[in-house]
């Protein structure tokens, strides 16, 4: 799989100032003979070099061929051949020529939004989302279903019912460009029945359901499976805006809280694909007793607080943009969630040198900003002896990160080498 889904031990994190300026690629598997960290001129490695070019253009839109050649170490002729092939396939497009002082005008190249499309399915404990994205990660269409608890039959019926209408939003000639479906879901759903007030017998079918195979048979597309929070972190890597830290811990607020871990610019998923399972990290609760992080920092913990105060929590599952929560209830929840995140961050930093902690989730942007601010304050108030505290930042993808990250998996598998590829000083 592409480098953003690296499963082996990541190299020792490098400080940002020590990073190689050129677009060096760190392949997931050992490359064929004669291929190192930079592009190869061998014809057998054309696919690798095409991925390299597409990865660069994803992070650096509007780049001339000469800059790509300098950044990759490929010859100008090789770059021209690759760019011509990608343009003929509709994956990249030309911009307006830029005239300089000397020589021919420079033609900026960028990814073509209509070059490829992907479906992303998020299966959550209270809802399912199915979306269609283009090659730039823009959402072209979305469907949502809210339920009291998920069952395999209900989710498959949802996909069967909605996929045709979703794909119909594309012009007919573009529908053949749908390249895969990504599936993001919590692992071992059947073990969480009592935590989501679901009858155990209704959740038990998850134990023996191969959802990946069932969706492949239903849609006719290759299906890529990931943990839901890991997928959200992957969306931040592939589609997120701004410069990303090389080493960061990622928290996503869903029904529970989930996490992702990025080391040396790669999403580290662990041997079983469930690394950074932060939900069960022990943190001090409001009374000082140790509790699991999900008990104080999750949308479900806010829902419980609202219901205890006599307010319905149904609104939390229908929209992430407009929450009407009693100010006192919301303030207490933010404070408790921030304290939990700060404690979990401190524990993580005892093992890893992290540049940043990113916080995102199914919540209004203003509430996310308050959680980030309060977490920063709580962390600074702790004993940080021997630890360099990371920056606490808001994620840039937002509520759709899990489904968008699901869609990013087939995109990365098919078209990317390294989502962190940049032109550096070569630009």
pLDDT at 242: 87
> pLDDT tens digit string along 354-368?
999 999 999 999 999
Task: Please indicate whether the domains covering 115-232+404-412 and 243-395 agree at the CATH topology level.
Answer: yes
Query: Which value, in Å, is the radius of gyration of the alpha carbons in the chain?
Result: 22
Each domain of the chain, given as residue ranges in start order, spans 3-99+106-114+414-426, 115-232+404-412, 243-395
Residue 246 and residue 398: Cα distance in Å, rounded? 20
The 3 state secondary structure assigned to the chain is CCHHHCCCCCCCCCCHHHCCCCCCCCCCCCCCCCCCCCCCCCHHHHHHHHHHHHHHHHHCCCECHHHHHHHHCCCHHHHHHHHHHHHHCCCEEECCCECCCCCCCECCEEECHHHCEEEEEEECCCEEEEEEECCCCCEEEEEEEECCCCCHHHHHHHHHHHHHHHHCCCCHHHHHHEEEEEEEECCCHHHHHHHHCCCHHHHHHHHHCCHHHHHHHHHCCCEEEEEHHHHHHHHHHHHCCCCCCCCEEEEEECCCEEEEEEECCEECCCCCCCCCCHHHCEEECCCCCEEEHHHCCCHHHHHHHHHHCCCCCCHHHHCCCCCCCCHHHHHHHHHHHHHHHHHHHHHHHHHCCCCEEEEEECCCHHHHHHHHHHHHHHHHCCCCCCCCCCEEEECCCCCCHHHHHHHHHHHHHHHCCCCCCCCHHHC
Q: How many residues are listed for the chain in this entry?
A: 427
pLDDT at 277: 93
Q: What is the pTM for the complete model shown? A: 0.85
Q: What is the mean pLDDT of the chain?
A: 88
Top CATH class of 243-395 equals: alpha beta
**Superfamily of domain covering 115-232+404-412:** ATPase, nucleotide binding domain (3.30.420.40)
Q: Are 316 and 302 in contact (CB under 8 A)?
A: yes
In this structure, whether the domain defined by 3-99+106-114+414-426 belongs to CATH 1.10.238.10 is answered with: no
> pLDDT tens digit string along 146-200?
999 999 999 999 999 999 999 999 999 999 999 999 999 999 999 989 889 999 9
> pLDDT tens digit string along 259-312?
999 999 999 999 988 899 999 999 999 999 999 999 999 999 999 999 999 999
């Amino acid at each position: 799989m592409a480098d953003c889904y690296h499963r082996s031990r990541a190299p020792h994190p490098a400080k940002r100032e020590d990073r190689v300026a050129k677009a060096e690629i760190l392949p997931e598997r050992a490359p064929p003979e004669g291929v190192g960290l930079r592009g190869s001129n061998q014809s057998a490695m054309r696919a690798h070099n095409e991925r390299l070019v597409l990865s660069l253009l994803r992070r650096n839109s509007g780049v001339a061929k000469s800059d790509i050649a300098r950044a990759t170490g490929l010859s100008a002729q090789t770059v021209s051949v690759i760019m011509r092939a990608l343009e003929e396939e509709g994956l990249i497009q030309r911009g307006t020529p830029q005239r300089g002082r000397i020589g021919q005008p420079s033609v900026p190249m960028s990814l073509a939004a209509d070059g490829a499309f992907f479906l992303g399915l998020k299966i959550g404990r209270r809802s399912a989302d199915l979306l269609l994205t283009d090659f730039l990660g823009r959402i072209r269409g979305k469907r949502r279903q809210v339920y009291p608890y998920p069952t395999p039959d209900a989710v498959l019926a949802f996909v069967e019912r909605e996929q045709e209408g979703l794909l119909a939003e594309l012009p007919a000639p573009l529908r053949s460009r749908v390249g895969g479906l990504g599936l993001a879901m919590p692992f071992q759903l059947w073990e969480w029945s009592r935590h989501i007030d679901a009858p155990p017998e209704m959740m038990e079918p998850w134990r023996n359901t191969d959802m990946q195979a069932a969706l492949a048979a239903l849609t006719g597309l290759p299906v890529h499976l990931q943990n839901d929070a890991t997928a959200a972190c992957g969306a931040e890597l592939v589609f997120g805006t701004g410069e990303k830290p090389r080493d960061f811990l990622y928290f996503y607020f869903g029904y529970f809280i989930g996490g992702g871990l990025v080391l040396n610019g790669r999403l580290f998923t662990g041997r079983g694909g469930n690394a950074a399972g932060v939900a069960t990290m022990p943190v001090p609760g409001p009374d000082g007793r140790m509790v699991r992080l999900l008990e104080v920092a999750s949308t479900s913990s806010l829902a419980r607080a609202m219901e205890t105060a006599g307010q319905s929590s149904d609104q939390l599952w229908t929209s992430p943009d407009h929450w009407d929560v009693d100010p006192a209830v919301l303030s207490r929840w933010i404070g408790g969630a921030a304290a939990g995140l700060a404690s979990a961050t401190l524990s993580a930093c005892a093992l890893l040198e992290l540049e940043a902690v990113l916080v995102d989730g199914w919540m209004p942007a203003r509430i996310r900003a308050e959680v980030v601010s309060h977490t920063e304050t709580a962390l600074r108030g702790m004993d940080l002896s021997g630890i360099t505290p990371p920056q606490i930042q808001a994620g840039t993808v937002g509520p759709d990160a899990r489904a968008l990250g699901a869609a990013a998996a087939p995109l990365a598998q098919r078209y990317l080498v390294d989502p962190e590829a940049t032109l550096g000083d070569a630009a």
